[in-house]
Amino acid sequence: MVISDIHNDTERLEQILTIFQSEHYEKLFIAGDIGTRSLKLLNPLSQLIVACKGNMDAYDNFEEEANFPLPNINYSYCNGKFVAITHGHLYDEYSLPVISDIVFLGHTHRSRLTISGGRIIANPGSISRPRDGTSSFIRFTKEKIEIIALESKNVINKIDL
């Protein structure tokens, strides 16, 4: 599962974590802008989280309160793919120092799923403050990447892998 731009919306984060647990996801990718109140819900899942720091997470002590690493760019292998995750305020798909199969970004609060330069570029949008009108997240499996509307659970966009 991939989420971004939580901005301390613990109510929607609880919805996301219920889905995460009930659908038995292996990893939770977080593309920044988390917020300190959200850490209380996320820290118990620290072993399953691959995250990066967003521009709103740059204040003092935030990284010390998280039980998981928060670099500006993070990497992981998942579902047979090499994944890079960054918030999008310092790096984008054109300026990452490493080439990956998939790039997960946040920052814009707009969902996006495209193929560019032979790799998948995906933004889950925002669960708390969507600028495209729909709180959303990404379902990432071995077969496909889908952007899912949080409330309706409808598929907004998808790419088969």
Considering only CA atoms, which of 1, 4, 39 is closest in space to residue 23?
1
pTM above 0.75, yes or no: yes
Supply the CATH number for residue 89's domain.
3.60.21.10
Task: Kindly report, residue by residue over 8-24, the tens digit of the pLDDT.
Answer: 999 999 999 999 999 99
If you average pLDDT over residues 101-105, what whole number do you get? 97
Where do we find the tokens 């995750």?
A: 85
Q: For the chain, how many structural domains are there in total?
A: 1
Q: Which residues sit opposite 120 in a β-bridge?
A: 102, 115
Considering only CA atoms, which of 90, 132, 89 is closest in space to residue 113?
132
Task: Residue 132: count other Cβ atoms within 10 Å of its Cβ.
Answer: 14
Contact 74, 85 (CB under 8 A): yes
Task: Kindly report, residue by residue over 117-131, the tens digit of the pLDDT.
Answer: 899 999 999 999 999
The domain of 10 spans: 2-160
pLDDT bucket at 60, cuts 50 / 70 / 90: low
